[in-house]
Structure 1
Amino acid sequence: MNRKTLVLPAVIGLLAPVLVACGSADGGSGGGDAIVVGTTDQFIATEDTPAPLDPAYAYDTGAWNVLRQTIQTLLHAPRGGGEPVPDAAQSCTFTDNASESYRCKLRSGLTFADGTEVTAEDVKFSIERVRDIDADNGTAALLANIDTIEANGDEVVFHLSTPDATFPYKLSTPAAGIVSKKNYDGKKLREGFQVDGSGPYTMKTETKGEQITKVVFSRNSNYKGDLKLRNDKIELRSFADADSMGKALESGDIDMMTRAMSPEQIRDLSENPKEGIQLTEMPGLEIRYLAFNTNDPSVKDKAVRQAMAAVVDRGHIAGQVYGATAEPLYSLIPTTIAAHTNSFFNKYGEPSRTKAAEILDKANITTPVKLKLHYTTDHYGPGTAKEFEALKQQLNATKLFDVTIEGTEWAKFRPAQKRGDYAVYGLGWFPDFPDPDNYIAPFLDKGNFLNTPYVSTVARELIPQSRRAADRTSASKAFTQIQDIVATDVPFLPLWQGKQYVAARVGVTGVEWVLNSSSDLQLWELGRGTV
């Protein structure tokens, strides 16, 4: 059966958060005036990643969720989803029908937190800085289509190399964050954890060694933008694991916990509501996948990758490891995004050892194929280790593979992955913006964030073609073709897509808005009151 026919239309921006469990008692303050939020995101500065919070380098959800509170962008994602709206800008618009010239006018009286004026030249400097530094994390690729930037008075004009209807979304990401020449060098990264901008909050960090333990966000009295702050101070605490974060919520030491809650915690709070704690389910666009270093001898022959695609049981992984929080995924583009097709199911069908054996035999691959699968132990939550144990068992049960697994902390995992040390590795993706382009270009375009050696010439021709369409549904044909290319060549093996959850103490308001579908943390939405 072709599962394309089962895909529901995309409804991003229309999905409402769902309160799935509720206690009845009043919640504790969790830290005086500040609303205290827990996360398992780790913020570490090392020799390999000396500038984890520099907008020219940062390209992971945890770092971006810090930057969104402090660094202002011309545009931002609106509360209920949809096209970006002005923030630092008063207005922004394409000035031509071809989507090749984009003009923004700054708000009047705009200043950095220290009172220094924000100018059009600062905007130009900030974006050119990202492009000039061109860090190996892939951040600059978001802005690669810019040809030239003009700064005239209070206006900035971006001239694009090729038409790009998604460009406003890119200007709403921290990669396009506005920084000051006074605090940021135009040619090198700013090491450490200090962040200065014109966003809704200023920030101070507490550290232990090379790692942040706490970030305190205080209302920026100089902020002028579109966001409405519902609090004066937020404290973001980093926990080593989901269990310790959960205990802190139950004891009242924190007011809310966000990513990454464990599947067990979500299940427990759903089935056994705890007094004074609410669990809120929100629409999410996270995906998980395996990626391959296609230059590595063990997986260079695509028959090996295809055979893995033919036997991996996504349903078992999603159901047994993640339960109701995940569902199988057969494409890099999730089912809730327009242009999704079930390309991998259409090509390989249900998990089949027979089909996998035929693929390997036809390519004269000696079995069992020895592979090591790598994963990060501390970036996506405790379910990752169980997921990779399940993958190992599935592959080894076929006798076609001899698989071992190895977990590494994120601070070491990501640099090793970018160097090409791993033949097979697992990663997650939280979109920069909810468009099919952002599930394709960051993986397949030139300068992609994975530094993958895989190149599809056809895909790289189709990506800019797809961006010409202002009506994004009309780009579906190009995205369908790209998804089919990925299913054939298997440089990536999609596994599952997930929901997202937040647990908070009763009395904290705005919880239903604190995460949008792209997992952007919107701390300004939180407040205190009765619920």
Structure 2
Amino acid sequence: STGSSLVMGMSDDVLATDPASGYDPGSWLLFNNVFQSLLSFPNGGTEPVPEAAKECAFSDATTKVYKCTLQDGLKFSNGDALTSEDVKFSFDRILKIDDASGPAVMFPMLDTVQTPDAKTVVFRLKYADATFPSKIASGAGSIVDHRQYADNGLRKDDQAVGSGPYKLDSFGKDQAVFAVNDSYKGTAKVKNSGITLKFFHGDQSALKKALLNHQVDIAYRGLAADDIADIN
């Protein structure tokens, strides 16, 4: 990584640090930085591309069996290897916990997740769903370390262990601090030495003021169109 540390402000709160719970834009921003999904959306793109996976495809014309092969040498930020076991664990866990504010609602079609070997994941769907790749490319597809998460309950310590471009150093009411994850293998190009994400709890005028006073470098979401025009 190059560059200095970045301060980002957003008016959304982050409601969850555990991917089995969050289904809001703030939480997904955190997940996309701390965790990997099998696929991800390129900047400005709407077609998912391989991320933790080397390749993914429907294995028949019915779009009911979806197979992914993982990249070689994937590791979580704590050094644990990321294998198909973690992928299966992550999806099974979302469905088992079935959190009311979580992403389980996105996967009614998911029947079973199979792991024929350490690098292969096979999703069997109850019914055809051509949009399944886009669903697993979202924050809902975040892969957690099966050694670090319980399969039957949410993690409550405001910590997160993933394989994304950043690791979560600290998380509090008003900000989250991210350090670069040097063991990350994926599509994101990290151009800074870390991120501090400040939460403005819905207060757009405070976010605008912080941006104008150079207390934040970037505003993510939550600025009204005329505020953005003012700053540019």
TM-score range, shorter chain: over 0.9
Structure-2 separation of matches of 1:160 and 1:264:
45
Structure of larger gyration radius = 1
In structure 1, the residue matched to 2:175 is: 214
1:205 alignment partner, SS class: strand
Give the aligned residue type for 1:202: K
Q: Over the residues paired in the alignment, what is the CA RMSD in angstroms? A: 1.7
Q: Distance in 1 between matches of 2:133 and 2:171?
A: 34
Report the alpha carbon displacement of residue 204 of structure 1 after superposing the two structures with TM: 2.0
TM-superposed deviation, 1:263: 4.8
**Are 1:236 and 2:224 counterparts?**
no
Question: TM-score scaled by structure 1?
Answer: 0.42
Unpaired runs of 5+ residues, structure 2, are none
| Pairwise CA distance, 1:168 | 0.4
Kindly tell me: are residues 142 and 246 of structure 1, through their superposed partners in 2, closer, same or farther at Cα, counting changes over 3 Å?
same
Identity between Structure 1 and Structure 2 (%): 39
Q: SS at the partner of 2:134?
A: helix
1-side partners of 2:228 and 2:128: how far apart? Answer: 43
Give the whole-Å Cα distance in 2 for the aligned partners of 1:249 and 1:80.
24
Counterpart code for 1:261: L
Unpaired segments ≥5 residues, structure 1 = 1-31, 45-51, 270-276, 279-531
Partner of 1:108: 72
CA–CA distance in structure 2, aligned partners of residues 239 and 205 of structure 1? 17
Partner of 1:42: 13
Q: Please point out which of 152, 166, 169 is paired with 2:116.
A: 152
Paired with 1:226 and 1:38, the residues of 2 have a C-alpha distance of 24
Distance 2:133 2:26 in 1: 22
Deviations 1:70-129 (A, max 9, x none): 011000012231321100000001100110111000000001001110010110011000
The answer for the alignment partner of 1:142 in structure 2 is: 106
1:116-131 maps to which residues of 2 (within 5 A)?
Answer: 116-131=80-95
Residues 402-451 of structure 1: CA distance to partner in whole angstroms, max 9, x if unpaired? xxxxxxxxxxxxxxxxxxxxxxxxxxxxxxxxxxxxxxxxxxxxxxxxxx
3-state SS of 1:237 partner: strand
Compute the displacement of 1:220 (Å): 0.6
Q: Deviations over 1:2-41 (max 9, x none)?
A: xxxxxxxxxxxxxxxxxxxxxxxxxxxxxx9311111112
Structure 2 residue 230 is matched with structure 1 residue 259: no
Where does residue 96 of structure 1 map in the other structure? 60
| Paired position in structure 2 for 1:226 | 187
| Matched residue, 2:28 | 64
Q: Secondary structure at the match of 1:102?
A: strand
Letter in structure 2 aligned against 1:200: P
Taking the aligned partners of 1:35 and 1:88, their CA distance within structure 2 comes to 25
Residue type of the alignment partner of 1:203? L
Instruction: State how far apart, in whole Å, the 1-side matches of 2:44 and 2:196 are.
Output: 24
Residue 264 (structure 1) shift = 4.8
SS at match of 1:227: coil
Q: AA paired with 1:182?
A: R
- The residue that corresponds to 1:479 in the other structure is none
Give how far 1:262 is off.
3.2
- Runs of 4+ in structure 1 deviating by more than 4 angstroms, as ranges, are none
Greater helix share, structure number = 1
Structure 1 residue 188 corresponds to structure 2 residue 153 = yes
Size of the alignment, in residue pairs? 228
Indicate whether 1:204 and 2:165 are aligned.
Answer: no
TM (norm. structure 2) is 0.92
Alignment of 1:70-469 (within 5 A): 70-153=34-117, 154-207=119-172, 211=173, 213-240=174-201, 241-266=203-228, 269=230, 277-278=231-232
CA distance in 1, matches of 2:125, 2:14: 34
